[in-house]
Amino acid sequence: MAQPTQIEQIAERTERLLVRYHELQRTNALLSEQVALLVHERDSLKSRLGAARARIDALLERLPEVTAPPVVRPAPRQDTSR
């Protein structure tokens, strides 16, 4: 088997680089799509969280004012030792 010439080696390496480049392009496109989906999901969750907070705030506003319960002090003990 003959030794490949320098041009053939360069051509082979160039072909491998092109294949790797196209693989990276496909991977990048898939990752970009996933990022877009996650950004959309995050924005949706943030919106739902804001709506839930607004509903909770509205419910809290409907609650009656709470006053402090009266302080109950125990009756003074009578000395029964006499």
- Asked if residue 4 lies in contact with residue 12, where contact means CB atoms within 8 angstroms, the answer is yes
Number of structural domains (the chain) is 1
- State which residues form the domain around 10: 1-61
The answer to whether residue 71 sits within a structural domain is: no
7 lies in a domain? Answer: yes
Distance in angstroms (rounded) separating the CA atoms of residues 8 and 14: 10
pLDDT tens string for the chain (82 positions)? 578 899 999 999 999 999 999 999 999 999 999 999 999 999 999 999 999 999 999 999 999 887 777 788 888 887 766 5
Q: Is residue 48 part of a domain?
A: yes
**In this structure, is residue 80 part of a structural domain?**
no
The answer to whether residue 32 is domain-embedded is yes
Q: What is the pLDDT of residue 2?
A: 74
What is the structure's pLDDT at 82? 56
Inside any domain, residue 42: yes
73 is a domain residue: no
Q: Is 49 part of a structural domain of the chain?
A: yes
Residue 47 has a pLDDT of 98
